[in-house]
Amino acid sequence: MSSAPFGTKSGPSRRHRGGGQGATRTSKQASGESGAEAAETAQPRRGKMVIERRVKATLDEVWDRWTTGAGIESWWGPDGFLTRVNRLDIRPGGGFEYATKAIEPAQIEALKSAGLPMTSVGHGTYTEAEPLARLGYKVLVDYIKEVAPYEVSTLVELKKVPGGVVMVVTQDEMHNSDWTQMAAMGLDRQINRLVEVLSGPPQE
């Protein structure tokens, strides 16, 4: 759920961090393909990026953070921004809408310098919702100049394990390696924030 994909690929890739600082590996990087080689207007088949975390929490607690307004607002959005959920209809075909507002001086000044509004609105559509187990959604990427709009899908999978929950977040890569890398960094920060809200710093 982020106007930039929640976070935000050609063959599968995996980002795995059980808590330590792990490098992001995408399929384009593995094959040696550069961002310049990716088509900007006709999107090729994109791969996936995957983040996996183990948290000291119950399934109910983790599900609540993904599926309630208060839960989402407690961790969603970039650093220096405040998130407010405006609409949440968690069912296949249902939608969500939220607003992120810059609240820190550095972010406010950066937006002013770029001539951008202090608040932006994001929205998307849920593709699946299996309580306490799976949550899927998609967003439309339509804000990149000279790139045809395309959808980015995200799937959240939860599994109870001794002492907590394993959370796996799988998201489509972006249209080229540069955008994929930026999106992956943002996704990683957001998931780490969620882990900290649930159970403290990420575990090794």
Whether 204 has a pLDDT exceeding 60, the answer reads no
Residue 61: C-alpha distances to residues 14, 17, 23, 132, 198 (Å): 25, 21, 28, 9, 8
Query: What count of other Cβ atoms lies within 10 Å of the Cβ of residue 12?
Result: 14
Per CATH, the homologous superfamily of domain 27-75+130-199 is: START domain (3.30.530.20)
End-to-end Cα, the chain, rounded Å: 27
* Strand partners for 102: 81
- Domain borders along the chain are 27-75+130-199
Whether 28 has a pLDDT exceeding 50, the answer reads no
Question: Is the model more confident about 44 or about 94?
Answer: 94
pLDDT band at residue 201 under the 50/70/90 scheme: low
How confident is the model over 149-169, as pLDDT tens digits?
999 999 999 999 999 999 999
Contacts of 69 (CB under 8 A, 6+ apart): 85, 88
Mean per-residue pLDDT, 108-128: 90
Alpha-carbon span 163 to 167, nearest angstrom: 13
Helix extents (H) in the chain: 27-31, 59-67, 69-73, 105-114, 177-199
